[in-house]
Amino acid sequence: MENILRPIYQERASHSNTLAIIMIEKRNQTSPLTDNLDVALLVIVNDSDQSSFVKHYEYEDKKASLTVMTKDELNESILLGTNRRIVDWVLNGKILFDRNEYIIGLIDRLRTFPFSERKLKIGIEYGKLIRRYLEGKVFFESKQLLDAYNHIVHALHHLARLEVIDRGYYPEVTVWNQVKHIEPQIYKLYKELVESDESLEKRLELLFLASDFLIHSKTEVGAAHILTIMSEKESWYYNELYHHPELKYYSVDLSVLLEFLVEKNYVSIERIETKGKEVFHRSYFVAKKY
């Protein structure tokens, strides 16, 4: 298949804008990694007039895809985990073209996982964890057990990813296989939720109790990134935090995380008068105890 695709990727490699080309081959009969196609090609470019795009090709009984994305889109995808296959593609794909060892440098960065990137990814995962957990708790309390189950599974998944990142690894698609060896306690909670013979309500009740403890025990790790940024100024309006170059990645989870930190006394509030009677602006600052 590589020979068939060679004219396609060689044409891309001839462009000065192209940084690297990677080939990922189908490993199993069913292969979500390549969208069940026989081969996936990833072309990384320096910049582009359009956002990432994908083309599909067919030759006899073989199928292939070509994904083109900029280095900024690639980095954001890795950072936010929006396309978890990307890390697998970069680490395990076959390098067909690598200008100035761009991919070699990226692989080295992924394997060393710089601490600053790790803190940001942990913060993003912690925000998602808090939202899923709180939403799941509301469903549980209103006896919407299947919805509560769905949310607590996602919450445990974010907790697992947070633990993997904190240990210095990028979460893989098979994150539970990683967690099984890294943090057996979280893996055991997940197994109990999906395999226990207890009623669903009883399983959820026990999981929410255990998760409540784990979430609170991870607060200083999970909130370290946002608290470090907030320490740069005496106080912040929410809009300032929301548009911060790094905190913008928290997206809709920033508000719920901030309120959680207020409740846990990691962040304090100052009320600032407005023109409206008894209406105040909220200003946030890191609590002195932290």
256 lies in a domain? Answer: yes
- 210-259 tens-digit pLDDT: 888 889 999 999 999 999 999 999 999 999 999 999 999 998 999 999 99
276 lies in a domain? Answer: no
Are 76 and 58 contained in the same domain? yes
189 lies in a domain? Answer: yes
Q: How confident is the model at residue 1 (pLDDT cuts 50, 70, 90)?
A: low
Q: How far apart are CA 35 and CA 174, in angstroms?
A: 16
Q: How far apart are CA 200 and CA 189, in angstroms?
A: 14
Mean pLDDT of 132-141: 96
Are 193 and 67 contained in the same domain? no
Mean pLDDT of 125-154: 95
Are 158 and 212 contained in the same domain? yes
With beta carbons less than 8 A apart as the criterion, state whether 129 and 141 touch.
Answer: no
The average confidence (pLDDT) of the chain is: 89
Domain assignment of residue 101, given as a range: 2-112
For residue 273, the surrounding DSSP H or E stretch is: strand 267-273
In this structure, what CATH number is given to the domain that contains residue 8? 3.30.460.10
Are 137 and 206 contained in the same domain? yes
Mean pLDDT of 50-63: 83
278 lies in a domain? Answer: no
Number of domains in the chain: 2
